[in-house]
DNA sequence: AAAACTTTTTTAATTATTAAAGAAGTTGTT
DNA sequence: AACAACTTCTTTAATAATTAAAAAAGTTTT
């Protein structure tokens, strides 16, 4: 089979992963090949048991199309979602199911030279524990905070190797499976684009409400990364004149007025100061636990918790107003950990838009809460692998040599 | 000739317009067709006298390529650049030369129901006066302020027809030549992308320093317009807490702290208040004249004028910091009328970036002053026509499924 | 219930692409 | 300086893909 045919074949598998079941006509359109060629490729895939016919679709006025689906149990993905403190590792099948328990490990990234080694060991461990044979793994997708260069496979903030060598190549060399990395917020956006609220929108802003406020931009139907891959630095746009020092060294960043970290801090302060609230029993040492507790309090109508979220929401809204002016998106999606607080975000954000946005611009922009919630990054990491799947055959790792070959992934 | 062949043929003409002279190999690559097909199309274009061979290019280590150029005197463009007060109309050839004097007319757009009729008459007049036969005009490109829907051909702010009917179709119906419209700042960006400083950059932010502060976004090598075509509303992002009322009805917009209009107003106030300066003889009734006078004063080292531009520049820089954070561009281009003030902008903008931008993000972003200056919009309007040249006959429809009929015009 | 229309699939005809060969230059070596 | 070795562009022949036509399987209309 020629290299070109392989590309088309992989494109079919990729489309079937994202769409679950498609007809030959649909696939022909999506992979931009003629019907006869697509049919021939499908025939081959059926023979090799990678694809199965799964009945007929309902007729739309003519002959019913044969529907194709990915064969189960032949391909698996490893998805890894990291934040500054905790890392989750999961194994997923082609139908987007978790096939092993999600492994959650405490792995602080700042000032931790051992982090990369630990990560590799844990990934290896989860893969081994799954009992799935190595050749069935398509690849590993990893989402991580920091300035990530997707093409080079480098994170300039965490998990660095000497001379900024590619960590994707490094990890792939160890576990013998292709590896892809991306910024955490970008992967949340990718998840929303492929499986979530942005599915029908070619222009969407996905806000990743987490310890910081991340942003993934969906422009013209695809994830936008910018010149060096750093686009979406929403957290640090200079929007306030509050003089508050930010972690980045500047003042007035969006992050200084809104983030889950800030909410937890403020909640702890409030409790210490004797504020009446359901939150009075906050642990005060575990960020994740406290955050979950506050979100739970919001849902139970706790006034203090609601006040904190409303203020944070209003400030996110001020940032969203900027996004709407600059990029005229169809939809704003609130995703990531914080989105599990639900509809509480709507009112304050809408209020900020009323005050700071030109009506003509935001009247046709909707604000929605993600249904993927806390698991968005894991879905996104899996999607990242399949996003690159068509190029994977170009990756070759020598089984006996430690010297990695030139790897060309995407563009 | 089939429809598909026509598309490729037109693509060749388009590429030759933007690149002036190209080899068959270059064209084959650019129009995404094989060498034999491209060669055959070129043969046909030579026969029909639309293209000429213009000698050989220097060898790059092998056989010298034959170079093709557009035939002169067979195709012309009408380009129209409007602002709120003044409209310029020009006729250009395929080599980007003005072939008739630029017609400048005073045509206020706000609250002027007659504006559209006047515009059509003047375009007609300029075309007639040129003595060029009608069938040689490829199309009319018009840049205008306001919320412009490029696809529908509607401006929601000015020049409206009843029921928001398409003004492009309306004008085209009258003058019998295809018409295209776009937002003024988008066309300035297009000009920079095709003929100016953004030529080598697939990610550029083009700031249109005019009576307001416009923005055209070049993302992934093409002009980005957003969901409804309104992207780039830079002027009204809420960046200040100054309480100053903006023309849009809100307060704190970027426009309230920087624009040529503001500079002229401040200069007039300063002069009235007796500020010592070369500007003391400002007319005070003609915005354009006064603006030119102040820019002249800047170049002659007038302290007051420089102070005004420095402050305005710093505030533009604050906005640019937001752009860099969100979109990680390779280059920021200062264009439009105000760019003729030259290097004066550099220092205050760089200062604002130092203060408000994460170093990692702006260290590799350059800020440049346009060389197209005041004529950028006219070049952009001409480019707009050729940008659409190939698409006029080409509409792609899903050949199999009724539901997914997609009209794809440009991407 | 049959004719007329849709849509998918198969096949045959057409067209474009890739690979191979040739032409025109440049570069490097003896 | 001469000639082999390498580039790059152009032409041609072989191969592969696309489009058009025909057939198959439904749905809708009369």
Give me the DSSP letters along A291-324.
HHHHHHHHHTT-HHHHHHHHHHHHHHHHHHHHHH
Would you state the CATH architecture of domain A76-186+378-394? 2-Layer Sandwich (3.30)
The average pLDDT across A298-321 equals 95
What is the pLDDT at residue B399? 34
Check whether B182 has a pLDDT greater than 80.
Answer: yes
Say which DSSP state B51 is in.
E
CA–CA distance, A66 with A52 (Å, rounded to integer): 10
Check whether B16 has a pLDDT greater than 50.
Answer: yes
Is residue B402 very low, low, confident or very high in pLDDT (cuts 50, 70, 90)?
very low
- Looking at per-residue pLDDT, the higher value among B103 and B284 belongs to B103
Task: Report the range of poorest mean pLDDT among A229-238, A275-284, B151-160.
Answer: A275-284
B117-163 pLDDT, tens digit per residue, is 999 999 999 999 999 998 899 999 999 999 999 999 999 999 999 99
CA–CA distance, B140 with A33 (Å, rounded to integer): 36
Distance from residue B58's CA to nucleotide C9's C1', rounded to whole Å:
53
What is the pLDDT at residue B411? 27
Long-range contacts at B90-95 (CB < 8 A, ≥ 24 apart):
B90/B126, B90/B378, B90/B382, B91/B126, B91/B127, B91/B130, B91/B132, B92/B378, B92/B382, B94/B16, B94/B17, B94/B70, B95/B20, B95/B70
* Nearest chain A CA: its distance from B275 CA (Å): 31
User: Are A250 and B356 in contact (CB < 8 Å)?
Assistant: yes
Measured between CB atoms, which of A236, A237, A358 is closest to B248?
Answer: A358
Is residue A404 very low, low, confident or very high in pLDDT (cuts 50, 70, 90)?
very low
Task: Report the range of poorest mean pLDDT among A192-196, B277-281, B332-336.
Answer: B277-281
Contacts of residue B271, defined as CB under 8 A and 6 or more positions apart, other chains included, come to: B277, B279, B280, B282, B284
What is the pLDDT at residue B400? 34
CA–CA distance, A307 with A319 (Å, rounded to integer): 19
Query: Closest nucleotide to residue B60 (Cα to C1')?
Result: D8
User: Are A325 and B236 in contact (CB < 8 Å)?
Assistant: yes
What is the pLDDT at residue B302? 92
What is the pLDDT at residue B286? 85
Tell me the domain boundaries of chain B: 3-70, 76-187+379-387, 197-371
Is residue A410 very low, low, confident or very high in pLDDT (cuts 50, 70, 90)?
very low
**B234 to chain A: closest CA residue:** A326
Distance from residue B1's CA to nucleotide D19's C1', rounded to whole Å:
15
User: Which tokens sit at B280?
Assistant: 């003391």
What is the pLDDT at residue B90? 98
The average pLDDT across A92-101 equals 95
CATH topology of domain B197-371: Nucleotidyltransferase; domain 5 (3.30.420)
What is the pLDDT at residue B398? 33
Contact B213, B207 (CB under 8 A): yes
What is the pLDDT at residue A143? 97
The average pLDDT across B362-376 equals 94
Percent of residues in chain B assigned helix, strand, coil, to nearest 5: 45, 20, 35
What is the pLDDT at residue B403? 31
Say whether residue B325 is in contact with chain A using an 8 A CB cutoff. Answer: yes
The average pLDDT across A69-73 equals 93
Is residue B1 very low, low, confident or very high in pLDDT (cuts 50, 70, 90)?
low
Distance from residue B60's CA to nucleotide D6's C1', rounded to whole Å:
12
- Helices B303-327 & B287-299, crossing angle to 10 degrees? 100
Residue with CA nearest C6 C1'? A62
Say which DSSP state B406 is in.
-
**B353 to chain A: closest CA residue:** A238
User: Which tokens sit at A238?
Assistant: 């200079």
The average pLDDT across A193-212 equals 95
Chain B residues within an 8 Å CB radius of A15: none
User: Which tokens sit at A410?
Assistant: 């995407």
User: Are B250 and A356 in contact (CB < 8 Å)?
Assistant: yes
3 state SS of B134: helix
CATH value of A199-371 in 3.30.420.40, 3.90.1150.10, 3.40.47.10, 3.40.50.12280: 3.30.420.40
CA–CA distance, B378 with B130 (Å, rounded to integer): 17
User: From residues 24-53 of B, which are strand C contacts by CB within 7 A?
Assistant: 32-37
Say whether residue B321 is in contact with chain A using an 8 A CB cutoff. Answer: yes
What is the pLDDT at residue B396? 30
Proximity of residue B4 CB to strand C below 7 A: yes
User: Which tokens sit at B14?
Assistant: 């388009």
Q: Is the dihedral of CA A327, B182, B196, B56 positive or negative?
A: positive
Which of 328-357 (A) contact B at CB < 8 A? 328-330, 355-356
What is the pLDDT at residue B278? 75
CATH topology of domain B76-187+379-387: Nucleotidyltransferase; domain 5 (3.30.420)
The average pLDDT across A45-54 equals 92
Burial B326-355 (b: 16+ CB within 10 A, else e): bbbbbbbbbbbbbbbbbebbeebbbebbee
Is residue B247 very low, low, confident or very high in pLDDT (cuts 50, 70, 90)?
confident
Check whether A78 has a pLDDT greater than 90.
Answer: yes
Task: Give me the count of residues in chain A.
Answer: 411
Which numeric CATH code is attached to A3-70? 1.10.10.10
């Amino acid at each position: 089979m020629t290299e070109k045919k392989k590309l088309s074949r992989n494109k079919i598998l990729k489309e079937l992963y994202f769409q679950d079941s498609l007809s030959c006509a649909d696939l022909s359109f999506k992979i931009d090949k003629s019907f006869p060629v697509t049919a021939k490729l499908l025939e081959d895939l059926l023979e090799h048991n990678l694809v199965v016919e799964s009945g007929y679709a309902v007729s739309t006025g003519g002959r019913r199309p044969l529907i194709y689906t990915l064969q189960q149990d032949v391909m698996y993905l490893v998805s890894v979602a990291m934040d500054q403190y905790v890392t989750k590792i999961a194994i997923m099948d082609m139908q987007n199911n978790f096939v092993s328990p999600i492994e959650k490990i405490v792995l602080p990234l700042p000032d931790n030279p051992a982090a990369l080694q630990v990560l590799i060991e844990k990934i290896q461990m989860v893969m081994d524990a799954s009992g799935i044979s190595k050749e069935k793994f398509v690849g590993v997708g990893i989402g991580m905070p920091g300035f990530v260069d997707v093409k080079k496979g480098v994170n300039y903030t965490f998990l660095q190797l000497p001379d900024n060598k590619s960590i994707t190549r490094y990890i792939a060399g160890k576990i013998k499976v292709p590896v892809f990395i991306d910024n955490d917020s970008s992967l949340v956006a990718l998840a929303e684009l492929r499986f979530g609220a942005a599915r029908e929108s070619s222009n969407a802003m996905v806000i990743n409400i987490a310890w910081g406020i991340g942003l993934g931009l969906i422009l013209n139907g695809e994830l936008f990364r910018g010149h060096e891959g750093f686009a979406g630095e929403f957290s640090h746009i200079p929007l306030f004149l509050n003089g508050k020092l930010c972690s980045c060294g500047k003042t007035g960043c969006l992050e200084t007025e809104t983030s889950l970290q800030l909410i937890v801090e403020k909640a702890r302060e409030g409790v210490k100061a004797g504020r009446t609230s359901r939150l009075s029993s906050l642990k005060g040492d575990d960020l994740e636990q406290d955050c979950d507790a506050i979100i739970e309090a919001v849902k139970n109508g706790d006034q203090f918790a609601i006040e904190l979220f409303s203020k944070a929401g209003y400030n996110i809204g001020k940032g969203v107003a900027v996004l709407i002016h600059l990029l005229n998106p169809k939809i704003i999606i609130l995703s990531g950990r914080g989105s599990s607080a639900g509809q509480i975000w709507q009112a304050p954000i809408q209020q900020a838009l009323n005050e700071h946005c030109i009506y003509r611009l935001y009247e046709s922009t909707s604000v929605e809460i993600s249904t993927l919630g806390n698991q968005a990054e894991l879905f996104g990491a899996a999607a990242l692998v399949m996003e690159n799947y068509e190029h994977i055959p170009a990756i070759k790792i020598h089984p006996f040599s430690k010297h990695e070959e030139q790897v060309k992934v995407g563009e």
